[in-house]
Chain A
Amino acid sequence: MSDLQRILNVASRIRRERLAGIRLKIMMPILLLFLPGMAWGFSDPNIVLPGGHRPDTAMEVLFYASLGVVFGATMCAVLMAFDGVSKDRASGMLEVRLAQPMPRRHQATALILGHAQSILLPVYALLAVAVVLVRLRMGEWPTAGELLVYSASTGLIVLWYTLFALLASTSAREQGTAIAFGIGVWFFFTFLWALVTTMVAYASGVAVGEANDPAWVALEGLLDLLSPNGVYHHLLETQLPTVDRGVAAWQSWLAALLWTIVPWWALHRRMERLVP
């Protein structure tokens, strides 16, 4: 059996275990509400958004509906993975796993893939429903390119939050600490990041909240590269030609790469040094 096959086998078992768990059943209504629900709402032909804006393409609707991913899917990723390591540590299973001759880096990769897949599968299924709903209500399909970027970006943001939660899980000896860390990071980037942006803008002498002020738009665009949610929106905006926040597509993808590599590397490093 090759190393890759071994990693995939272990990841597959984690995925199956998580998918069959009660936790996912509890989270499904949240995901249903946030993913197809938002797509349904934003694809209403009579909708008028603040500022009198009306989304007029399928991709634009999916972009607004991506708020559901930011609020719902990321939180579910954290809730799914927060005990990925800490539970095994508490039960003694971590010691059993670490005693197996599978390199710890491979074990870490299997953990990441298994947990990310376990939340991505339902998220992708519900996003497919969302796309069909948009088609039904607007009579328009998103293009293949748009769908590809939408899927990849959503996969990445779920992966990032899975990585944060697993990192917390390796550091915390108690599951409560792990979930507090995971939810804390989620809360910070989802709700408090606007405050950080505002504070930086204020300190930089940029008028705060002026949507038409190019300095504010540029600063907000730049600061969003430092937040996983911001990078997610930047990636989606690459498919919206009317939106320009001063960040090139390659910069968005580079930031996405960094948001993937750095926590992935950190988790591998943690696993290498982990003591049961």
Chain B
Amino acid sequence: MQGFPVGLAMAEAVLSFRSVQHRHAVPAPRLTKPWAKREGPGVVGVSLDLHEGAVLGLIGPNGAGKTTLLRLMAGILPVQSGEIKSRFDGETWTDAGDLRTFVGHMPEQVRWQGRSTVVDALTQLGDMRGTSTKTIERLLALVGLRSRRDEPLDNLSQGMRQRLSIAAALLGSPKVLLLDEPFNGLDPVAAQAFAALVRTLASKGVSVVISSHMVAQLEGLIDRIALLHRGQLLDEGPLGEVEQRLGLSGRYAITGSGEVDPKTLVDEKSILAFEQREHDWILTVDGPSAEVLKAADDSGVALTSWAPVRPNLVEWLCAATGMSVDDISLEVASSALLPMQSMEVRGDE
């Protein structure tokens, strides 16, 4: 995973969310009022800035509120409280207005189907924005679907459908692009091509938000990270800074051949994991990797690799919440069953 690019370090925030909230109305029937609803899960008090040309990874377990937050950012769900401001002109912050005019949204798993062709499907959406045919053709080329423009949707592979989804999200030449679990269902080759496309868009100044519950999928792609859990933003910022803030930086995986006692290489407290295999071993340490290198050199232990280790989702959550792995796992598993503070609401859905 790469750090915050120097060129983007000074990238300005272009869209700012302050204490935004949207909680879904869930049925809570009573004998006297069978249609009653109460506020259920959603996102609460989220404050987040999106930066020009930066890729933000929105990380959280299932049910954390990632999709809700993205829909809120896309202008699909109304903001129940809080404010959203933008400053694309680089000058003053103003009320963002209709987000849909400058935000492109790619929902999770759109099932493009039917006998319509690729170009027809895009044109239909383009009609809703007033997008020109020329722009649609350009987008098809950008996402690598030009040769498939007349293909019926039913004939597209999952990877091509994802490309079509991103083309649909780019219809209005958005300044902010939201991608909800874009790697779901993609094979490694398609995922790599998709990631390259995202980096290209970011290099053109588009602010990209990618949600995922699989941190590993975002390796090398994101510049900033936002941790979401139970509808609340736990931490947000440049990747390296957040790692450092949560004490997750400075972890290394060291491998070597033969057999070794890890305690001879590093202080026991620094050992996070050790696995001795038949012909080699893997040692994960927190912090003093130079110490290991020196100790290995001194004792003649042969090292084969040495690489920084990124924390996984559970480790991020443990660090951000201060909970143990067991507690966080239980929390994630039961989050759907734990209602947040509830009150009666008006609402249709």
A276 to B76, CA, bound (A): 8
Does A6 interact with chain B (Cβ within 8 Å)? yes
Q: Is the CB of A92 within 8 A of B76?
A: no
- B130–A6 contact, CB under 8 A? yes
Assess whether A91 is in contact with B129, with CB atoms less than 8 Å apart. Answer: no
Residues B76 and A91 in contact, CB atoms below 8 Å apart: no
Known contacts being A270-B348, A273-B347, A276-B71, is A97 close to B128, with CB within 8 Å? yes
CA separation between A100 and B100, bound complex, in Å?
A: 6
Interface string of B99-140 (1 = CB under 8 A from A): 011011101111111111000000111011110000000000
Q: Which residues of A contact B129 (CB under 8 A)?
A: 100-102
**Which residues 68-92 of A have a CB within 8 angstroms of B?**
90-92
Q: List 11 A-B contacts (CB under 8 A).
A: A90-B111, A92-B109, A95-B105, A97-B125, A99-B105, A100-B100, A101-B129, A101-B172, A102-B129, A273-B349, A274-B349
> Is B272 interfacial (CB 8 A cutoff)?
no
Interface size class of A (residues with CB under 8 A): 20 to 34
Residue B149 lies at the interface, judged by CB distance under 8 Å to chain A: no
B68's nearest neighbour on chain A, judged by CB, is: A275
Q: In chain B, what residue has the closest Cβ to A21?
A: B115
Is residue A23 within 8 Å, beta carbon to beta carbon, of the partner chain? no
Of all A-B residue pairs in the complex, the 8 with the closest CB atoms, nearest first, are A92-B110, A100-B128, A101-B100, A275-B349, A99-B105, A273-B348, A95-B107, A91-B111
Q: Is A135 an interface residue (CB 8 A)?
A: no
Closest to A99 in B: B105
- Considering the chains assembled together, what is the distance between the CA atoms of A264 and B259 in angstroms? 76
Residue of B nearest to A92 (CB): B110
Chain B residues whose CB sits within 8 angstroms of the CB of A91 once the complex forms = 110-113
A132 at the interface (CB under 8 A from B): no
User: Given known contacts A10-B127, A107-B128, is B349 in contact with A96 (CB within 8 Å)?
Assistant: no
Chain B interface residue count, CB cutoff 8 Å, equals: 37
B196 touches A (CB below 8 Å)? no
Is B168 part of the binding interface, using a Cβ–Cβ cutoff of 8 Å? yes
Main secondary structure of the interface of A (DSSP, over half): helix
Tell me the smallest distance from the CB of B122 to a CB of chain A, in Å: 11
Inter-chain contacts of B114 with A (CB < 8 A)? 17
B77-A96 in contact (CB<8A) = no
Looking at chain B's contact residues, is the secondary structure mostly helix, strand, loop, or mixed? loop
Complex Cα–Cα for A100 and B111 (A): 17
Q: How far is the CA of A161 from the CA of B45 in the complex (A)?
A: 43
* Bound CA span A1–B127, Å: 9
Q: A92-B107, A273-B348 are in contact. Are A99 and B100 (CB under 8 A)?
A: yes
New A-B contacts (11) at CB < 8 Å, excluding given A274-B348, A276-B107 = A6-B128, A95-B107, A96-B105, A96-B107, A96-B110, A99-B74, A100-B125, A101-B128, A107-B128, A275-B24, A275-B349
Residue of A nearest to B108 (CB): A92
B172 contact set on A, CB distance < 8 A: 100-101
Least CB separation from A12: chain B residue: B127
From B75, B116, B127, A99 is in contact (CB under 8 Å) with B75
Select which of A6, A17, A20 is within 8 A of B127 by beta carbon. Answer: A6
Please tell me if the beta carbons of A275 and B77 are within 8 angstroms of each other in the complex.
Answer: yes
Which B residues are in CB contact (< 8 Å) with A13? 123-124, 127
B98 in the interface (beta carbon within 8 A):
yes
Answer yes or no: A219 CB below 8 A from chain B CBs. no
A93 CB to nearest B CB, Å: 6
